[in-house]
A = this chain, B = another copy of it.
């Protein structure tokens, strides 16, 4: 384990990146977990859930709402400022801090909880930012109680499909993948999730695998997504890293921004993004 592993969030916490994440909720970003959660709650209303790498905390808060009144979410992240923002979001949603949800700074490689503490351990698009996903999964399993669930959802960056296939959007897609790889992240996490959890010591019979999608096609979704991408190109890590690594140029960035504007304006436009999903049942001792 290197010190980089403790502190790295490869794409940064720029406002553009945070804004891009705020659209996410349990419904659109943890659909594979929801039926399991509903089922667990019928026998255990005081369910304890850990949400790792919570970012702006919109998924964490919507999970906490599903655990009301007796369950609890602990949301962790490696950035103090992001945790503050996530706490504000939880309060804005009418949640009680720390009764319904609490926040703690933590590395995914060293979680601040005893063995077997949580009924459900969840991470959404966290492993794709790590250079060593397997040790992180081992640590997640450590804090999951025997009989509990580990829920993972990871983007497969290769699996974006655009319509129309504007050349500048294809270039954008190459850039986002290459920035991720330059930061030692994972571009194919979605398809590798099963392989990773097996490498972490899980048996195949204890894994349920699937794929989930995001679709940006309705006008408001196109606008939301396109604006978020433009903001990342204007002010985020994408521009900075992309130019620094000579993956693009100022002119290239402007061309991609024009591409997103064109895409947003076309009512026949569509974008599908694919995420791998697994639910791991940790065996009883």
Pairwise interchain contact B215-A213, C-beta atoms closer than 8 A: no
Pairwise interchain contact A159-B274, C-beta atoms closer than 8 A: yes
Contact pattern, A 195-215, Cβ under 8 Å of B = 1, otherwise 0? 100100000100011111111
Pairwise interchain contact B204-A267, C-beta atoms closer than 8 A: yes
Question: Which chain B positions have C-beta within 8 A of A156?
Answer: 161, 272
Interface set, chain A 65-121, CB cutoff 8 A to B: none
Chain B residue nearest in CB terms to A196: B268
Pairwise interchain contact B162-A159, C-beta atoms closer than 8 A: no
Pairwise interchain contact B204-A215, C-beta atoms closer than 8 A: no
Q: Nearest Cβ in chain B — how far from A279, in angstroms?
A: 12
Query: Given the known A-B contacts A156-B161, A209-B218, A218-B209, are A194 and B268 also in contact in the complex, defined by CB atoms under 8 Å?
Result: yes
Assembled-state Cα–Cα distance A163/B268 (Å): 32
Asked whether A276 is an interface residue with its Cβ less than 8 Å from the other chain, the reply is: yes
* Other-chain contact of A210, B159, B162, B188, B215 (Cβ < 8 Å): B215
Question: Which chain B positions have C-beta within 8 A of A214?
Answer: 211
Chain B residue nearest in CB terms to A160: B159
Query: Given the known A-B contacts A159-B161, A270-B209, A276-B272, are A219 and B204 also in contact in the complex, defined by CB atoms under 8 Å?
Result: yes
Assembled-state Cα–Cα distance A283/B162 (Å): 28
Question: Which chain B positions have C-beta within 8 A of A270?
Answer: 191-195, 209, 276
* Other-chain contact of A161, B190, B204, B208 (Cβ < 8 Å): B190
Asked whether A21 is an interface residue with its Cβ less than 8 Å from the other chain, the reply is: no
Classify chain A: how many residues form its interface, as a range.
20 to 34
Pairwise interchain contact A191-B163, C-beta atoms closer than 8 A: yes
Question: Which chain B positions have C-beta within 8 A of A163?
Answer: 188, 191-192, 194-195
Q: Which of A159, A211, A274 has the most CB of B within 10 A?
A: A211
Question: Which chain B positions have C-beta within 8 A of A217?
Answer: 194, 209
Contact pattern, A 115-129, Cβ under 8 Å of B = 1, otherwise 0? 000000000000000
Q: Nearest Cβ in chain B — how far from A206, in angstroms?
A: 12
Assembled-state Cα–Cα distance A215/B210 (Å): 5
Chain B residue nearest in CB terms to A195: B268
Contact pattern, A 172-195, Cβ under 8 Å of B = 1, otherwise 0? 000000000000000010111111
Pairwise interchain contact B219-A215, C-beta atoms closer than 8 A: no
Asked whether A138 is an interface residue with its Cβ less than 8 Å from the other chain, the reply is: no
Pairwise interchain contact A272-B159, C-beta atoms closer than 8 A: yes
Question: Which chain B positions have C-beta within 8 A of A223?
Answer: none
Question: Which chain B positions have C-beta within 8 A of A210?
Answer: 213, 215
Q: Nearest Cβ in chain B — how far from A257, in angstroms?
A: 22
Assembled-state Cα–Cα distance A210/B195 (Å): 28
Across chains A and B, which 3 residue pairs bring their CB atoms closest together, nearest first? A195-B268, A211-B213, A209-B217
